[in-house]
Structure 1
Amino acid sequence: MAKIAINIATGSLQQEEIIVGIDLGTTNSLVAIIHPETKQAVALKEHDSSSMVPSVIYFDGQSNVTVGDEAKKKLISSPERTIFSAKRLMGKSYNDIRNRSAAFSYKIIDDNAESLVKVQVGDKFYSPVDLSSYILKELKHRAEHILKTPVNKAVITVPAYFNDAQRQATRDAGKLAGLDVLRIINEPTAASLAYGIGISREENKVIAVYDLGGGTFDISILRIAGGIFEVLSTNGDTYLGGDDIDQAIVEHWKKELGISTEKIAAEPSLNQALRLAAESAKKQLSVTDSYETTLEDYELKISLAQFNTLIQPLIDTTIRSCKSALKDADLKASEIEAVVMVGGSTRVPLVKKAVGEFFGREVNDTVNPDEVVALGAAIQADILAGNNKEFLLIDITPLSLGIETAGGLMDVLIPRNTKIPAKASRQYTTQVDAQSGMRISVFQGERDLVEHNRKLAEFNLSGIPGMPAGLPKVEVGFLINADGILTVSARELRSGVAQSIEVKPQYGLTDSDVEKMLLESITHAKDDIAARALAEAKTEGEQLLKTTERFLQKNAELLTKDELLQTASAMQALQLSITMNDKDLIQKKTEELNEISRPYAERIMDEAVAGAMKGKNV
């Protein structure tokens, strides 16, 4: 029996469930749909309010969550409890962002490790997936409130340069928010769709998409042919955007008014207030020649000429990226047939002028640059819903494919809805010293624990040379050919030991099996992600205990009695927490052991280096 939804607002019958397009942005996020009557893409907003939801999350003392404009107000009053730019943390390890951690006013756990970064607010620990899921949940609620109908399916956009881990993290965030993520698409692809470029199957074009958002800049060169979008090259800077334009104004005011770095460090709220004033100045200077306001005892002023001088180096950096992207694509600027502008910062007149001059053509900026990506995602959603028959849909994988990792977790290498043929690979390592073999178990499904998914195949990679845990590098590769046949290979990169297995097409699942597995993944999303987080916390805690134990065996005589006692106590507490199945407690005890061991580990390392250098000329 077919389900028919009724739109309560209009009383009209909806034959198809609504699929929304979501732009999950660094600074702002928004949701769009194809209007049922006009058939045009529209960003959802209430009355005269903005379509944009600031990508800001505030946690009060009871861990209640607020997202959007209300959360943004807390940037000044409670900076340590207010999370912004969570997208910058997606799929990142501690090492990836440790040099940038000072830019965040909240606590990022600064551990020299390769595991995913965590944010600490009070005694709670949140992953970037958790944080992004709160933003997506807010967008889902907002869409449901405006449309007066349930919203469970979405297309979500990501930057073209996002790697597999970052795309998977975005999918996980959608799942945790209660959304079935039908497709993750590249932001430049979405932007070109919003301009109608690439919708006709006859179209054959090479275009540039210049995206200067709040926190990131990227330039993508796309070839569009027969409804297929191919990213020829992408370049940019994940730490350059409107935020940096704002910061240039802040630095100008600090210098002009003699506000010291020490004063800013002592008053985080002053820095946030200056940042918000700078944002207002940037917006006003797009339409007027000057800006002035008062903040506490300070008179803040800036002219358009001063502003242009301040931001010229930032614009020059983006143009250098454009040159690099063209070089990588082996194209000249004159061969680009259209330039699409994306991101609120492209409203700055000097940016438009510089980009137009570089490419030697007028830029496309008639669609709201803040909304263009979400509108394109809505068009893609409409295509997936089968409402646009002109568009070519490639064969796709019906369910995610991955392998089992420590803690019985499913590590997805090829997400569902990936177009085929497709290939993906990822590196893994051993957990035990002198481990000579590794079992590769291949699974299909959307749940976070492999026990809930379907096992497709299993084989052993044996003959790994005896090495300390963590040293071997085993690359596992998945390749699906055009017939849907999956080949899984494993290779230890240092020794060259290799093994592979072939898995048959479609894996014997009926459409109803696939539907059931998808439904279960959404129904159990919250439990699954909690189970994954707990398993990851346990694995991380156990690894730290092993590492600390090995370190103590080698260096115990170099530690003070007090250090030994503190370490033993912290290890015991961590060991106990692992048995208690409380993720936050395990992470807290892991962090406490790290805090105790880090100073003496660094001291012993420094002494060892100093000893090795004695008598040597450097």
Structure 2
Amino acid sequence: MAKISINLATGSLQKEEIIVGIDLGTTNSLVAFINPDKEPKVINDAGKGVLVPSIVHFGAAGDITVGNEAKDFLITDPQNTIFSVKRLLGRSYKDIEKHKDFFSYKVIDDDSESLVKIKVGDTFYTPIELSGLILKELKERAEHALKTPVNRAVVTVPAYFNDSQRQATRDAGKLAGLDVLRIVNEPTAASLAYGIGLDPEETKTIAVYDLGGGTFDVSILQIQSGIFEVLATNGDTFLGGDDFDRAILDYWIEKNQLDRAVLLANHELSQELRLKAEEAKKSMSHQSIFNEKVGEIWCTLDKQTFESLILPKVNQTIDCCKNALADAKLSISDIDEVVMVGGSTRTALVKKMVSEFFGKPVHDDVNPDEVVALGAAIQADILAGNRKDILLLDVTPLSLGIETMGGLMDVIIPRNSKVPTKAGRQYTTSIDGQVNMKISVYQGERDLIKENRKLAEFDLKGIPAMPAGFPKVDINFLLNADGILKIQAIELRSGVKQEVEVKPTYGITDDQVEQMLMDSITHAKDDVAQRMLIEARTEGEQITYTVENFIKKHGTHLSVAEISDTQKYLVTLKEALTSGDKDLIHKAIDELNEFTRPFAERLMDHAVNTAMKGKSIEGAVD
């Protein structure tokens, strides 16, 4: 008997599921869908508003709050309130080190290239888990508003996100119980919301100017036959509307001759003034003078002063536009359309300067906060097969990747990638003098390779003996239009090379593909918990190996007390490694790092410093 779903919110018949579009933002996130009138529409659940602040708060009793309610804790409990987590997705500590003062919570520095972790109390979280909590909130809001299950989504990311940041976004979706059908570039989604790129006959070059609360980027896209190609992207991940607020706040501090140190110490007053600055900024869109008080402090601003305060920041964004055009090897006259994205583009000066720079009117009719989510919903509708006029290119049905240390699957080509496609990743060795590397290729959606389907295995032999971390092994996957996967491994320093070909779809039915996808969602929490334990153990073992080697080589330069105390920390770490508690392992790693850093910095040579870089492939250690 066939099942028919009825959407209680609209009373209409519908397919089994709605595929939603999600804009996972740095400051705010939102979700959109295609309504029964075939129009993209953002979801406002229970009057909470369309925008869901991308904020997670961890309460003392283990309770987790996401979104609007979590925002209040930014002042009262900053160390347990996580914001701007998107900046950390797929990043190592080294990537964000110079911005560490921006975060009020503890971002762990393990002096390696591994991905960042956030410490809350005694628990360590990854940006994937935190983004998963935000996506889960969006999923629940959508389900509540639409009165129907939401299990599939299109999620947007900045055009400059790399492979690991895109994979981290997919993993976050999986953790939230969502099958992420496609990761779409934000500028592409914004263009779709304006109908640009929907006509297969259309050929256009467009600029997408995206100024949000905390980030700015500009992308130059070429659209041909419905295919979007990113020609160039430029921007600043620490420039946005928040800087406009800060400029107003600084102006008021100076004008009222306030003591900055006293103000910083008074969290409530400084937050109240910051919010008042934001209010003043917004008022400039519809009035010329703002004149209010916070306590005894006069907060006055006129439009001319406001524009002079923000001019340097807007000029910075125009410089980024120039750089993007130069990188794309284009001139201003080559740009056919300019699309405005992000709440901060409501500022009149921004619109005026962007329009003047590109020499044409800008597209700003669609709500700039919503445009990306609306475009994602249109992309979801295309994937659902509801737009017959748009060609859906062939895609790979399951992810393809290789086995890394601890029996984990490292995805190289994510599922739903357009075919043909090419992707690669760089790896290294985990022990000194390693000359062979076993490369095992898998297909599937689970974190552990034992749950996935093995496609091939080969050895890269003859790697010159070097210290751990020195060899650079590029592994490239090339999936052609006929569905043949060519895997190539090459050690860059020596040129040692090996390749193999397989057909990933051989002997696998559609039902089996569907089952593998369902299993990956069902077991997402367990898989991530296991992955994190394995990664913690692998990291702990690597650090133990590195520190013991370091003492052997440089022991004569260390004091007896330094060696003795280091050995105690090593014993604690080794005990933690047998515990099965990833937080305990991270705590022991963190303590060992903190203790050894001062004298390691004093002595560590280049070889030891790079020993922890990159990922190490399983089989390398045998």
Q: In the alignment, which residue of structure 2 is the partner of 1:317? A: 316
Q: In the alignment, which residue of structure 1 is the partner of 2:112? A: 113
Structural mapping, 1:380-419, within 5 Å = 380-419=379-418
Specify the SS of the correspondent of 1:209.
strand
Q: Spell out, residue by residue over 1:459-479, the C-alpha distance to the aligned partner (whole angstroms, 9 max, x if none).
A: 000100111111111111101
Q: Spell out, residue by residue over 1:496-520, the C-alpha distance to the aligned partner (whole angstroms, 9 max, x if none).
A: 1111111125233111111010000
Are the counterparts in 1 of residues 143 and 149 from structure 2 also a CA contact under 8 Å? Answer: yes
Q: In the alignment, which residue of structure 1 is the partner of 2:535? A: 536
Distance apart, 1:222 and its partner CA: 1.5
Tell me: CA distance 1:352–1:578, structure 2 relative to 1, closer, same or farther (3 Å). same
Q: In the alignment, which residue of structure 2 is the partner of 1:347? A: 346
Are the counterparts in 2 of residues 205 and 223 from structure 1 also a CA contact under 8 Å? Answer: yes
Structural mapping, 1:156-171, within 5 Å = 156-171=155-170
Are the counterparts in 1 of residues 401 and 443 from structure 2 also a CA contact under 8 Å? Answer: yes
Are the counterparts in 2 of residues 456 and 507 from structure 1 also a CA contact under 8 Å? Answer: no
Partners of 1:464 and 1:271 in 2: CA distance: 58
Specify the SS of the correspondent of 2:45.
coil
Gaps of 5+ in 1: 607-618
Tell me: CA distance 1:562–1:295, structure 2 relative to 1, closer, same or farther (3 Å). farther
Distance apart, 1:267 and its partner CA: 4.9
Structural mapping, 1:333-344, within 5 Å = 333-344=332-343
Specify the SS of the correspondent of 1:277.
helix
Q: In the alignment, which residue of structure 1 is the partner of 2:611? A: none
Establish whether residue 428 from structure 1 lines up as the match of residue 427 from structure 2. Answer: yes
Q: In the alignment, which residue of structure 1 is the partner of 2:306? A: 307
User: How large is the Cα RMSD of the aligned pairs?
Assistant: 1.8
Partners of 1:556 and 1:295 in 2: CA distance: 60
Partners of 1:413 and 1:545 in 2: CA distance: 29
Distance apart, 1:261 and its partner CA: 5.7
Specify the SS of the correspondent of 1:508.
coil
* TM-score using structure 1 length: 0.94
Are the counterparts in 1 of residues 45 and 142 from structure 2 also a CA contact under 8 Å? Answer: no
Tell me: CA distance 1:348–1:483, structure 2 relative to 1, closer, same or farther (3 Å). same
Q: In the alignment, which residue of structure 2 is the partner of 1:614? A: none
Q: In the alignment, which residue of structure 2 is the partner of 1:7? A: 7
Distance apart, 1:296 and its partner CA: 5.4
Tell me: CA distance 1:99–1:269, structure 2 relative to 1, closer, same or farther (3 Å). farther
For 2:195, the aligned partner's letter is G
Structural mapping, 1:477-488, within 5 Å = 477-488=476-487
Specify the SS of the correspondent of 2:505.
helix
Specify the SS of the correspondent of 2:516.
helix
Tell me: CA distance 1:114–1:191, structure 2 relative to 1, closer, same or farther (3 Å). same
Q: In the alignment, which residue of structure 2 is the partner of 1:81? A: 80
Partners of 2:557 and 2:262 in 1: CA distance: 40
Partners of 1:273 and 1:525 in 2: CA distance: 41
Distance apart, 1:330 and its partner CA: 2.5
Distance apart, 1:331 and its partner CA: 2.1
Establish whether residue 580 from structure 1 lines up as the match of residue 600 from structure 2. Answer: no
Query: What stretches of structure 1 move > 6 A for 4+ residues in a row?
Result: none
Partners of 1:270 and 1:441 in 2: CA distance: 58
For 1:19, the aligned partner's letter is I
Q: Spell out, residue by residue over 1:319-370, the C-alpha distance to the aligned partner (whole angstroms, 9 max, x if none).
A: 1111122222222212222111000000010000001101111111000000
Are the counterparts in 2 of residues 105 and 268 from structure 1 also a CA contact under 8 Å? Answer: no
Q: In the alignment, which residue of structure 1 is the partner of 2:25? A: 25
Distance apart, 1:535 and its partner CA: 1.0
Tell me: CA distance 1:433–1:263, structure 2 relative to 1, closer, same or farther (3 Å). farther
Specify the SS of the correspondent of 1:522.
helix
For 1:363, the aligned partner's letter is V
Are the counterparts in 1 of residues 45 and 144 from structure 2 also a CA contact under 8 Å? Answer: no
Establish whether residue 438 from structure 1 lines up as the match of residue 437 from structure 2. Answer: yes
Once the two structures are overlaid, the 10-residue window that deviates more, 233-242 or 190-199, is 233-242
Partners of 1:487 and 1:269 in 2: CA distance: 59
Q: In the alignment, which residue of structure 2 is the partner of 1:239? A: 238
Distance apart, 1:47 and its partner CA: 5.8
Identity, in percent, stands at 62
Are the counterparts in 2 of residues 43 and 375 from structure 1 also a CA contact under 8 Å? Answer: yes
Tell me: CA distance 1:115–1:203, structure 2 relative to 1, closer, same or farther (3 Å). same
Are the counterparts in 1 of residues 46 and 145 from structure 2 also a CA contact under 8 Å? Answer: no
Q: In the alignment, which residue of structure 1 is the partner of 2:285? A: 286
Are the counterparts in 2 of residues 407 and 535 from structure 1 also a CA contact under 8 Å? Answer: yes
Distance apart, 1:269 and its partner CA: 5.2
Establish whether residue 450 from structure 1 lines up as the match of residue 449 from structure 2. Answer: yes
Partners of 2:278 and 2:113 in 1: CA distance: 35
Are the counterparts in 2 of residues 182 and 417 from structure 1 also a CA contact under 8 Å? Answer: yes
Q: In the alignment, which residue of structure 1 is the partner of 2:618? A: none
Q: In the alignment, which residue of structure 2 is the partner of 1:222? A: 221
Distance apart, 1:570 and its partner CA: 1.5
Number of positions where the alignment pairs a residue of Structure 1 with one of Structure 2? 605
Gaps of 5+ in 2: 606-622
Q: In the alignment, which residue of structure 2 is the partner of 1:207? A: 206
* TM-score using structure 2 length: 0.94
Establish whether residue 184 from structure 1 lines up as the match of residue 183 from structure 2. Answer: yes
Partners of 1:261 and 1:547 in 2: CA distance: 45
Once the two structures are overlaid, the 10-residue window that deviates more, 487-496 or 196-205, is 196-205
Distance apart, 1:415 and its partner CA: 0.3
Q: In the alignment, which residue of structure 1 is the partner of 2:617? A: none
Structural mapping, 1:364-379, within 5 Å = 364-379=363-378
Partners of 1:298 and 1:428 in 2: CA distance: 57
Partners of 2:23 and 2:392 in 1: CA distance: 21
For 2:309, the aligned partner's letter is L
Q: In the alignment, which residue of structure 2 is the partner of 1:131? A: 130
Tell me: CA distance 1:267–1:80, structure 2 relative to 1, closer, same or farther (3 Å). farther
Are the counterparts in 2 of residues 76 and 273 from structure 1 also a CA contact under 8 Å? Answer: no
